[in-house]
Amino acid sequence: MSGEREIVRIQVDLVCDKNCEACEKFFDCRDPYKYQVYERRRMDIVRERMSKVRHKVMVIAGKGGTGKSTLTVNLSAGMAMKGYKVGILDQDFDGPCIPKMFGLSGGLYLGDTGIIPRVYEPLGIKIVSTGMVIDADEPLTWYHELRRGATEEFLAHVDWQELDYLFIDLPPGTSSDNVNILQHLPDLSGAILVTVPSLVSQGVARRAGVLALKADVEILGVVENMSGFACPHCGEVSYILREGGGRKLAEELEAPFLGAVPLDPRMSECCDEGVPFIYKYPDSPVSKLLLGMCEEINKALEAKGR
């Protein structure tokens, strides 16, 4: 019995073409090398898919509710309005907001070349999110390994095709999902770090920024979100969540400061309606500011040839 097993192992070794995924002996093979090969093969597929994406930009904050998703939606739409081919990977598996913010409902489908992203038609933005595969009332309780598998799946088996920009919207925190992207997405172009002005938010955002820097991912810029609110009745500006925190954080991390985005009730309305604010109100001051950020991100990445 033990001799038979030995023979199988030798046979596998002899005919092994390292193409484990396609191997008919996959489940018989006990060679520990198989798993490494399988892992490497999967990373090869990720690398191949991602080689067609020019700029991969993660949107991080550490803290929740700073407007990462809203900013991802609007920067993506801004880039698309400038003529770039854009995709979004919604890496917030537990609380996916991106599909709703584009008014997309329904699932993801498998084509001949992999999972086909959903498209926000008016701007041709390709989107993949767990919000498209999980029931609206179903809480996800995935731990680290499952989350890592999902990240790899979205990078390896989605047919993104050629893209100028892939924005990755990260969930709050600095653990599993952040680490998985930092480890498994090759040639990440950089990170956009979002904070609200308060000191408390900066403290958490700094941790997320430090993690990106530890992984040798450049911070392309810091955005201060929810900064100031102009009363639509009298025009007086109130700094509800304080002010100045974004610029301070950018200085501390020696990263460019991309600007302070004021609060605008129409922003939240647009998210609920499923239309990017920048697309619906292209002439508003906030949209002009956001388009300016797109320009700066673009210039910074082009200058680096990344």
Q: Which residues bind a second copy (CB under 8 A)?
A: 62-66, 69, 93-95, 97, 100-101, 136-144, 147, 171-176, 178-179, 196, 198-200, 203-204, 206-208, 210-211, 214, 229, 231-234, 236, 238-242, 263-265, 268-269, 271-272
Could you tell me the smallest distance in angstroms from the CB atom of residue 248 to a second copy? 12
Token pair, residue 230, equals: 């102009």
Is residue 218 within 8 Å of 191, Cβ to Cβ? yes
Could you tell me the smallest distance in angstroms from the CB atom of residue 118 to a second copy? 17
Q: Is 30 helix (H, G, I), strand (E, B) or coil?
A: coil
Task: Report the C-alpha gap between 70 and 271 in whole angstroms.
Answer: 7
Nearer to a second copy, 142 or 281 (CB): 142
Nearer to a second copy, 258 or 267 (CB): 267
Nearer to a second copy, 114 or 203 (CB): 203
Contacts of 204 (CB under 8 A, 6+ apart): 61, 62, 63
Is residue 223 within 8 Å of 272, Cβ to Cβ? no
Nearer to a second copy, 4 or 137 (CB): 137
Q: Which long-range contacts (CB under 8 A, 24 or more apart) does 29-37 make?
A: 30/5
Nearer to a second copy, 24 or 216 (CB): 216
Contacts of 32 (CB under 8 A, 6+ apart): none
Find the distance separating the first CA and the last CA of the chain, reported in whole Å: 56
Cite the DSSP H helix spans in 103-224. Answer: 144-156, 176-184, 199-214
Nearer to a second copy, 59 or 297 (CB): 59
Could you tell me the smallest distance in angstroms from the CB atom of residue 238 to a second copy? 6
Is residue 127 within 8 Å of 154, Cβ to Cβ? no
